[in-house]
Structure 1
Amino acid sequence: MSGIRSTRIRAALFTAPLVAIGILGTAVVPAGATTSHPAKSLTCRGEGVDPKAHVRHRTETVIHAPLRTIWKLQADVERWPSWQGAVTTVNRLDHGPFRKGSAFRWTTPVPPNPTTPATSLEITSTVEQLKRNSCIRWAGPAIGEGLRIDGVHVWNFTEVKGGVRVSTDETHTGAQVEADVPTATKILRQGLEAWLRELKTAAEAPTHNRPH
């Protein structure tokens, strides 16, 4: 849950984020109403985002880099601060390969908005589904001053001609974000788009694409 920057609320959990460049579908509805999204939820091993969440964004981009490079950047969570400008810290809470059950705690700033002050979110994300080089789904709470978000974040990685299509879908729930769904959705959208832009920049950098 499944993924926030200085321009975003996100709980990796989310995460991721959580994502960018072609908006495939976001619905904004008043609190208490039924949320309906024109785009089908992304899934990982059959599980998707929260279907009842009012705050949701789904987007994607094509990255011109090998799948192994993109996967390593995304799965090596402790190195996120080296390529994501607004990720302040990341600590794995388990050891070994990134897998189902892996958990990590990370921090990221959130700008002030009409319902909450500027704060830093501490996000605890747990990987609930994962298929190597194919998909990740994580979820968990993000907590800051006057703010709690529960997020679910799904990532899909699909090889296409010339690169990899990276798609992401994220939902947020919580009293503060549900008090202003349009603003929360905008912040989520901006955060996911920034995440994908920075993932694309890092993966396409010449240092990541030298022959081994």
Structure 2
Amino acid sequence: MTSNLLYRGPGIAELHEEYAKKRVLDEKAPVKAAAEISVAAPTEKVWRLISEIDRWPAWNPAVRDVQVHGGVAVDTSFIWVNGKSRVRSTLAVVDPLHEITWSGVSAGIKAVHRNVLERTPDGTVRVTSMESMSMPFLGLIFSSTKLRSGLNDWLTALRQAAEKA
């Protein structure tokens, strides 16, 4: 327990290159969660909502003050506010209609966030959102349960926006 409590994880550059770009979370991170949802909308619409980063505040009430520094491409950076946290993120995977992943840092917390889209046989889109977060003592102030709740909120907002006519 103590070693996990003190875990600081890789530096943000390594986390971006060796984890996020390789489509993996930091499995040693003290805070990790995943959530998924089925969305009754075309994959293209779901992808557009997730990949148009500057438009996130239009469908996600927790997000504001988004500044994107380039197009939707690997290594494009963006700054955004999620809830009360200002996050500096960089896109790591941009696989249109399939996956968008970024690394990010906020108040010393380093994270990898993946969103994977999969068309299902029933015609819906399964969106899986997963994240790992690391920083010493993070487990004392933030939990995997709270992260999972945030991922569920993200996915619910996404589904509501995608399923609007």
TM-score range, shorter chain: 0.7 to 0.9
Counterpart in 1 of 2:118? 158
Q: Following superposition, which runs of at least 4 residues in structure 1 exceed 2 angstroms of deviation? A: 43-47
Quote the offset at 1:141 in angstroms.
0.4
Q: Which deviations, in whole Å up to 9, do the C-alpha atoms of 1:1-39 show, x marking residues without a partner?
A: xxxxxxxxxxxxxxxxxxxxxxxxxxxxx34149xxxxx
**1:56/1:163 Cα in 2 relative to 1: closer, same or farther (>3 Å)?**
same
Q: Which deviations, in whole Å up to 9, do the C-alpha atoms of 1:29-64 show, x marking residues without a partner?
A: x34149xxxxxxxx9874211121011001111100
CA contact (8 A) 1:45 1:131 kept: no
Quote the offset at 1:149 in angstroms.
1.1
In structure 1, list runs of 5 or more residues that go unmatched.
Answer: 1-29, 35-42, 110-119, 207-212
SS in structure 1 of the partner of residue 73 of structure 2 = coil
Task: Give the residue type in structure 2 aligned to 1:73.
Answer: L
1: CA distance between counterparts of 2:20 and 2:39? 20
Counterpart in 2 of 1:7? none
More helix by share: 2
CA contact (8 A) 2:32 2:132 kept: yes
1:64 aligns with 2:35: no
1:140 aligns with 2:101: no
Superposed, 1:58-97 pairs within 5 Å as: 58-94=34-70, 96=71
Give RMSD over aligned pairs.
2.1
Task: Give the residue type in structure 2 aligned to 1:188.
Answer: L
Superposed, 1:100-119 pairs within 5 Å as: 100-109=74-83
CA contact (8 A) 2:20 2:102 kept: no
Corresponding residue to 2:3 among 18, 25, 32: 32
In structure 2, list runs of 5 or more residues that go unmatched.
Answer: 6-18
Normalised by the size of structure 1, how large is the TM-score?
A: 0.66
SS in structure 2 of the partner of residue 52 of structure 1 = coil
Corresponding residue to 2:90 among 83, 108, 126: 126
2: CA distance between counterparts of 1:201 and 1:184? 26
Quote the offset at 1:162 in angstroms.
2.2
Quote the offset at 1:83 in angstroms.
0.9
Counterpart in 1 of 2:73? 99
2: CA distance between counterparts of 1:31 and 1:150? 19
2: CA distance between counterparts of 1:142 and 1:73? 23
More strand by share: 2
Normalised by the size of structure 2, how large is the TM-score?
A: 0.84
2: CA distance between counterparts of 1:103 and 1:174? 21
Q: Which deviations, in whole Å up to 9, do the C-alpha atoms of 1:94-151 show, x marking residues without a partner?
A: 2x3x111111100123xxxxxxxxxx311011011221111122102012xxxx3111
CA contact (8 A) 2:4 2:29 kept: no
SS in structure 1 of the partner of residue 156 of structure 2 = helix
CA contact (8 A) 2:20 2:112 kept: no
Superposed, 1:133-212 pairs within 5 Å as: 133-143=97-107, 148-160=108-120, 161-180=122-141, 183-206=142-165
Counterpart in 2 of 1:26? none
Residue identity over aligned pairs, in percent, reads: 28
